C-alpha cells in the first residue's frame, strides 16, 4: 500500500514538472496568438496579367508559412487591395491597408508612377503606423534616391527590383555578345515602352555619366537604324513594322514590361513585312509558357528573358516553386518569383528582429538578411549610394557595369517548334559560367529558318 502511494506521488510530481516545463512555451504561444495575425498586403490591379500572379503567389507563400507555424508563432493574414491601375485609387488602397488593417508589410505593383504616389502617403503615415513598404518591380530611380535625400521619412522603403543604372551591365553584354555573336546582328531597331521606367535609358543618366542605350549600342559597334517610343497598349504596330523593315534592321529590341501588349505586337510582327527580322522582348508575359498560346503560335522565333522553367533547375528552389505555381495556374514571370521571395525575406527579417514591434530592428533585419530564392538570392543594397540603396543587389553601386554574380539568374530563351523554349544565353557575362549547362547558343535559329 505504501509502495502504491509512493508511485502515485512520483507520477504526480513528474506530471507537475512536465507542466511547468511547458509553461514558458505555452505562455509564448498564447502571447503570440493574443497579439493577432501579422498583416501582409498587396496593392495592385487585380485585372492585370502582370500583377494578379504576384498576388496569387504571395497568397501561396502566406499559406505555406501558416502551415509551418506562422512567423515566430504568429499567424499571417494576407490582404489584397485593388488599385485598378489608377494612382489615386492605389494611394487610398495603401492608406486603408496601413491605417485600418495595420499591415506590417505592404507590396505595391511595379509601376513607378503608382509607387511614387503610394510612397509619399506611406512616408506621411510611417511614424504613427510603422510598416515596411516594398515596391514589386519598378525601376524609377527616385524611389530609392528619396531614402537618402529625406532621411527618416522613407527608411522603411525597399525596392523589390533593381534601379535603371543596374541594367547597363546587361545591355553591354547584349550589345557585345548576344546580338553580334549569337544573332550575327549589326543593325538594331529599338522600340521603347513609353513609360517613366525607360526615360533614363532614352535620355542617359547624367548623375552617373552613363550614355543612352542608343549611344551605348553604337559604342559597342552596332548601328541603330530605328528608335521609337510607343504606348504600352493599343498600339497599331503594322506601320511601325513596315518602317523597321525599310530600315533593314537585323533585330528588333522591344524594351517592354508586363504592361506592354507584347502578345499583340508579336501577332502583328508575324504577319508583317518585318517577320524575318529577329525580335527580342525585354520583359512581360513572354517570360512564360502561356505566351505561345496567347499568340496562337506566332511567337515562333521570338527571344525573351524566360523564367517559367519547367525542367531547368536554376537553383534547388526553382522547380519545386514552379510546380506549385503551375498547379494553381500562376504564370511565373520574373517579378512573380520576386514577389514570392519578398514574403519570405520579410519573414526572415521579422525573425531576426524578434518580432514586428520595433520598426528600426525590422528595417535592420530587412537590410541584413539574405534570402535564397528560385532565381538566386535576395539581398538589399546597404551602401548608401543613390539610387542603389535599399534596391535589390545586382551590380556594384560605383560601377554599374560590374555584376555581383549569383544574385539572380536570367536566361534568354527562344520560342521554337511547338512552343519549346531553347536557352541561348544568360543575360550577364558574370552569371553565364554558372548557367553554362542550360545554355546552347548554337541552338539559335532565325525566324525564317524556324518557319521552313
The b-or-e profile of 3-12 (16+ CB within 10 A means b, else e) is: eeeeeeeeee
Q: Which residue has the higher pLDDT, 90 or 259?
A: 90
Highest mean pLDDT among 106-115, 258-267, 362-371: 362-371
Q: Which residue has the higher pLDDT, 137 or 347?
A: 347
Q: Is the pLDDT of residue 383 over 50?
A: yes
Q: Is the pLDDT of residue 21 over 80?
A: no
So what's the pLDDT on residue 31?
Answer: 43
**What is the enclosing helix (H) or strand (E) of 415?**
strand 411-415
What pLDDT, in 10s, does the model give residues 187-216? 999 999 998 889 999 999 988 999 999 999
> Residue 211's closest CA among 221, 200, 222?
200
Q: Is the pLDDT of residue 24 over 70?
A: no
What is the domain partition of the chain in residue ranges?
Answer: 35-136+317-374, 166-307+407-451
What pLDDT, in 10s, does the model give residues 274-313? 999 999 999 888 999 999 999 999 999 999 999 999 899 9
The b-or-e profile of 291-330 (16+ CB within 10 A means b, else e) is: bbebbeebbbbbbbbbbbbeebebbebbbebbeebeeeeb
So what's the pLDDT on residue 213?
Answer: 98
The values of phi and psi at residue 261, to 5°, are -85, 65
The neighbour count for residue 192, using CB atoms within 10 Å, is 21
So what's the pLDDT on residue 280?
Answer: 98
- How many CA atoms lie within 13 Å of 72's alpha carbon, on the beta-carbon side? 20
What pLDDT, in 10s, does the model give residues 8-19? 544 444 444 444
Q: Is the pLDDT of residue 27 over 70?
A: no
Mean pLDDT across 375-400: 96
Question: What beta strand segments (E) does 231-369 contain?
Answer: 251-255, 278-281, 303-305
So what's the pLDDT on residue 228?
Answer: 97
Q: Is the pLDDT of residue 111 over 60?
A: yes
Which burial class, exposed, middle or buried, applies to 211 when counting CB atoms under 10 A from its CB (0-12, 13-18, 19+)?
A: middle
**Phi-psi category of residue 76: left, alpha or beta, with phi > 0 → left and psi -120 to 50 → alpha:** beta
CA distance 198 to 205: 11
So what's the pLDDT on residue 34?
Answer: 52
Mean pLDDT across 314-323: 96
So what's the pLDDT on residue 33?
Answer: 46
**What is the enclosing helix (H) or strand (E) of 132?**
strand 132-136
Mean pLDDT across 99-108: 98
C-alpha to C-alpha distances, 416 to 241, 289, 334, 423, 448, nearest whole angstrom: 22, 12, 21, 10, 11
Provide the whole-model pTM.
0.89
Mean pLDDT, rounded, of the chain: 92
What pLDDT, in 10s, does the model give residues 59-80? 999 999 999 999 999 999 999 9
What pLDDT, in 10s, does the model give residues 140-184? 899 999 999 998 999 999 999 999 999 999 999 999 999 999 999
Q: Is the pLDDT of residue 327 over 90?
A: yes
Q: In the CATH scheme, what architecture does the domain 166-307+407-451 have?
A: 3-Layer(aba) Sandwich (3.40)
Mean pLDDT across 410-439: 95
Which burial class, exposed, middle or buried, applies to 239 when counting CB atoms under 10 A from its CB (0-12, 13-18, 19+)?
A: exposed
Query: Residue written as cell 521552313?
Result: 452
- 35-136+317-374 in CATH: which number? 3.40.50.2300
CA distance 326 to 311: 13
The neighbour count for residue 405, using CB atoms within 10 Å, is 15
Q: Is the pLDDT of residue 2 over 70?
A: no
Contacts of 241 (CB under 8 A, 6+ apart): 268, 269, 272, 273, 274
So what's the pLDDT on residue 342?
Answer: 98
Residue 32's pLDDT band, with cuts at 50, 70 and 90, is very low
Amino acid at each position: 500500500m505504501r509502495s502504491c502511494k509512493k508511485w502515485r506521488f512520483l507520477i504526480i510530481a513528474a506530471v507537475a514538472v512536465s507542466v511547468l516545463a511547458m509553461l514558458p512555451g505555452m505562455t509564448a504561444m498564447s502571447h503570440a496568438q493574443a497579439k493577432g495575425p501579422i498583416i501582409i498586403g498587396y496593392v495592385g490591379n487585380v485585372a492585370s496579367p502582370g500583377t494578379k500572379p504576384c498576388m496569387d503567389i504571395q497568397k501561396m507563400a502566406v499559406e505555406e508559412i501558416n502551415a509551418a507555424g506562422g512567423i515566430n508563432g504568429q499567424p499571417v493574414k494576407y490582404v489584397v487591395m485593388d488599385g485598378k491601375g489608377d494612382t489615386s485609387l492605389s494611394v487610398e488602397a495603401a492608406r486603408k491597408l496601413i491605417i485600418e488593417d495595420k499591415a506590417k508589410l505592404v507590396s505595391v505593383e511595379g509601376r513607378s508612377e503608382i509607387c511614387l504616389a503610394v510612397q509619399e502617403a506611406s512616408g506621411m503615415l510611417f511614424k504613427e503606423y510603422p510598416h515596411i513598404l516594398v515596391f514589386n518591380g519598378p525601376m524609377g530611380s527616385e524611389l530609392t534616391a528619396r531614402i537618402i535625400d529625406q532621411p527618416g521619412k522613407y527608411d522603411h522603403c525597399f525596392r523589390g527590383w533593381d534601379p535603371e543604372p543596374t541594367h547597363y551591365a546587361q545591355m553591354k553584354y547584349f550589345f557585345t555578345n548576344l546580338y553580334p555573336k549569337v544573332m550575327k546582328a549589326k543593325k538594331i531597331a529599338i522600340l521603347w515602352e513609353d513609360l517613366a521606367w525607360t526615360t533614363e535609358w532614352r535620355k542617359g543618366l547624367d548623375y552617373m555619366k552613363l550614355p543612352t542605350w542608343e549611344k551605348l549600342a553604337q559604342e559597342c559597334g552596332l548601328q541603330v537604324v530605328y528608335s521609337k517610343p510607343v504606348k504600352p497598349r493599343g498600339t497599331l504596330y503594322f506601320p511601325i513594322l513596315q518602317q523597321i523593315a525599310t530600315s533593314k534592321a537585323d533585330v528588333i529590341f522591344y524594351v517592354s514590361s508586363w504592361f506592354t501588349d507584347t502578345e499583340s505586337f508579336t501577332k502583328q510582327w508575324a504577319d508583317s513585312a518585318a517577320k524575318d527580322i529577329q525580335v527580342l522582348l525585354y520583359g512581360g508575359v513572354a517570360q512564360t509558357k502561356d505566351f505561345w498560346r496567347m499568340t496562337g503560335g506566332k511567337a515562333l522565333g521570338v527571344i525573351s528573358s524566360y523564367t517559367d522553367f519547367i525542367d531547368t533547375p536554376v537553383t534547388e528552389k526553382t522547380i519545386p516553386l514552379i510546380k506549385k505555381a503551375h498547379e494553381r495556374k500562376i504564370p511565373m514571370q520574373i517579378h512573380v518569383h520576386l514577389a514570392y521571395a519578398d514574403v519570405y525575406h520579410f519573414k526572415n527579417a521579422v525573425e531576426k528582429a524578434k518580432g514586428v514591434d520595433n520598426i528600426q530592428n525590422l528595417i535592420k533585419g530587412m537590410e541584413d538578411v539574405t534570402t535564397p530564392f528560385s532565381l538566386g538570392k535576395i539581398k538589399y543594397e546597404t551602401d548608401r549610394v543613390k539610387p542603389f540603396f535599399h534596391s535589390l543587389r545586382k551590380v556594384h553601386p560605383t560601377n554599374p557595369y560590374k555584376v555581383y554574380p549569383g544574385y539572380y539568374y536570367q536566361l534568354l530563351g527562344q520560342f521554337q517548334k511547338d512552343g519549346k523554349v531553347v536557352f541561348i544565353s544568360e543575360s550577364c557575362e558574370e552569371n553565364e559560367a554558372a548557367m553554362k549547362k542550360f545554355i546552347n547558343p548554337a541552338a539559335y535559329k532565325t525566324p525564317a529558318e524556324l518557319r521552313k
